[in-house]
Structure 1
Amino acid sequence: MTFARHVPADFAHLDEHPLLAVPFALTLGGMRLRGERLSMTHLVATAEAEGGVPEPGAGGIARLQVEFPGFSVTLAPEVLVRAAEPGGAVLLAFADPTGPHLPQLRYLLNAVIAGEVAGVDGLLRYSGPAGAPKPKAAASPRADLRARIRSLASIALSAALIVAAAGVLTHRATTATELHPVFVETGGMGMRATAPGQLSYLAPDAAEGEVVFAIASNAGDVLNFAMPCDCEVRVAPGLREGATLLPTDTVLTLLDAEPELGARTMMSVEGFARVLNGDHATLRLADGRSFRVEVAAGEAATAAAMRGEMFVPVSLVLPDGALSEADAGLAGRLLITTPLLGGLLPEFGT
């Protein structure tokens, strides 16, 4: 049973709605038809012998019934007869494809396309899963223990990350690092240049009363400096004869009989004020050791502050036994930390 109609080359199906093999019963004007194929726009059926064949062009409200085991779906669309053959084959079309019957018809055809409804011997049957989903097997005690361990590990890792992030943020908010480095050196009395000029003579092994160094000043005078004691001398790093000197530049240091290690640096006026207000100063050496120190300002720091300079020279007082002779020459950084809640909370990052 075919109806030859011209289909344009750019269309996949006639009217873009393929006919599906869906059995149904159709009653139109007292005539009964046995449906074979159905789409959103057309119907193909065969007229029963006793009822007669409808004439092309006839139409009206039809009764479209689709039978299922135990129930049926009945629609009342308006249809038109497009063509009829002598053998009883009839091609019909919905007069209004978007009429009230559309939602139910579309659901039915979609179910057929999805495979949930299949036609067998003229009847429609459900072909989807018939049984209820099987319940999941109960987890074994060992699997439950592993799940709990994973959960506890995740909680512990999250807590550790939160604590670490809080420590980093607290450190950034409460701790500042001084710009200038700190140098650990042996204590003693320094001998400095008193006038700008050039170092013309240097004898660190001179005896007491002999000339230990001389400066050819810019004014043309030669300034001689005598060794004040019979003691060990340390020449300033990088200093040699011919070097240019400025006033207050240290030429050499006279070491004490039992020299003590100390630390010196140039500290910002802002950092010095924070220490005076109660903030803590911590010396962190290049090898990773850290010590709580006290800041001592001498006459040089007072003079620099009175001149309005941004950095002042200070000495750092370290705990007893914190450094040894092997630490001489080490460098470090000075950290200024504001204590939290008056020092009740620990200081992070110092």
Structure 2
Amino acid sequence: MDQAITSSTRQSPAAVTWGGPADHPMLDIPFHVEIDGRQYRGREISLVRATISGLIDPHMQGLERLAWVVFRFQGYTVGLSIEVRVEDADPAKGAAALVFLEPMGEHLPQLRHLMNSYIAGDLVTLGNVLTVRPSSGAKPKGAQAPTRRLRRFGGALLLLVLTALLLGLVGTKVFQRVFTYRLATPAVVGFDGRTLAATATGQIDFLNPDAKAGEVAYAIRSNTGQALSVVMPCDCRVEVLGVEAGSTVFAGDPVLRVSQADAPLVLTGTVLPEETLDLAQASAVELRFADGQEVMTHLGGLGSAAPGQPVPFRLIPDQPLSEDRAGQLAEVTLRRPVPGLLQTAATPAASVTSTTKAVAP
């Protein structure tokens, strides 16, 4: 251990003195020592002792303390915890010596490495800071400059691309939020025809969806005790709209929907009064079924309703629906008209949205 230091032929330009037990070299490596919360400037250090300077308390003579020996490097520090005994305390000169109580303690490998590196010239001083001497094989700054510039350019380009993508995503989301609106209630697919509704509030006393033209289709016993019958208007396809014999209905509730045998499929639903204007002014109405299929439709008409009550509507698909869609629910999304100045921006946004939907499973 000690021979690795004393036999080294390469020495730091700093002064190296010999003294102390076993003639260990005292090196003036920049360091400082903290004892009991007070800092002292390190003057010299070896493997077994160190000398310090500062405001020395005369009562420190002979005391054993835990010293924190700190070596400052560029960007980081190395601290060693060493048990020491204070000797040669001279308050007038502001100097004292620290004798290491356990020279072979856990601090030895780090301290020995620092001293060997300092003697070999691998560590040089920069004021009160230590720095590592550049390797002789290091590339010159001129050779590193193009690589550094290329990395800086690549990082800036990547940042610009990510910023553009983020702005595009945010713009698309804002555009969709402003110019699209989703209705609170879904629409149901059914054959185009007429709806037979309850003529009074009461209970369905009789229901015959197979009735012929002129026969009673259903009868309602009202709350007043009267029996009101509704006649089937035609020999046509009949759909029962969620009721059965014994069901309680209110006046105006749909009971049956009748349509011709060759009637196409349309969608019906209700919209809140405050959403009626959005539905009427929509440039397009998009439907989305539970299986993910999307269908474009247009408004076929609005029904009448009492003030404050949901308004019925009818949507006609741009392309005919298959008959297996009958009875299915669809989510309704309204596309608000886009101002002329934003038409150019709307086209890329729609392209990005459609591309994303096409790629998504």
Shared fold, TM over 0.5: yes
Gapped regions of structure 2 (runs ≥ 5): 1-18, 21-34, 56-87, 96-111, 124-131, 145-149, 355-361
Identify the match of residue 216 of structure 1 among 215, 221, 229: 221
Residue of 324, 327, 347 corresponding to 1:326: 324
Structure 1: gaps spanning 5 or more residues:
3-10, 23-36, 43-90, 99-111, 119-124, 140-144
Partner residue of 1:182 out of 183, 187, 197: 187
- Residues 13-36 of structure 1: per-residue CA shift (max 9 Å, x gap): xx98888479xxxxxxxxxxxxxx
How far apart, CA to CA, are the structure 2 residues paired with 1:18 and 1:159? Answer: 55
Does 2:330 align with 1:317?
Answer: no
Q: 1:40 aligns with which of 53, 59, 69?
A: 53
Shift of 1:185: 0.9
CA deviation string 1:42-65 (max 9, x = no partner):
9xxxxxxxxxxxxxxxxxxxxxxx
From 333, 336, 359, the equivalent of 1:335 is 333
- Asked whether the 8 Å contact 1:199–1:244 carries over to 2, the reply is yes
Q: Do the aligned partners of 1:41 and 1:93 also contact (CA within 8 Å) in 2?
A: no
Distance 1:234 1:18 in 2: 98
**Aligned: 1:259 with 2:294:** no
| TM-score normalised according to structure 2 size | 0.54
**What amino acid maps onto 1:173 in structure 2?**
V
Alpha-carbon shift at residue 165 of structure 1 (Å): 4.1
Residues 200 and 216, structure 1, Cα contact 8 Å, conserved in 2: yes
Other structure's SS at 1:297 match: strand
Cα deviation per residue 1:75-98 (whole Å; 9 max; x = unaligned)?
A: xxxxxxxxxxxxxxxx89574549
In structure 2, relative to structure 1, the CA distance for the partners of 1:226 and 1:19 (3 Å cut) is: closer
What's the CA shift for 1:261? 0.8
Distance in 2 separating the partners of 1:131 and 1:213:
99
What is the TM-score when the length of structure 1 is the normalising length?
Answer: 0.56
Q: Aligned partners of 2:281, 2:214: CA distance in 1, in Å?
A: 47
SS in 2 for 1:206: coil
Residue 273 of structure 1 pairs with residue 277 of structure 2: yes
DSSP 3-state at the match of 2:53: coil
Q: Quick one: which amino acid aligns to residue 324 of structure 1?
A: S
- Give % identity: 26
8 Å contact kept, 1:196–1:217: yes
Distance 1:191 1:315 in 2: 15
Cα distance change of structure 1 residues 133 and 236 upon mapping to structure 2, 3 Å threshold: same
Q: Which has the larger radius of gyration?
A: 1
> Counterpart of 2:138?
135
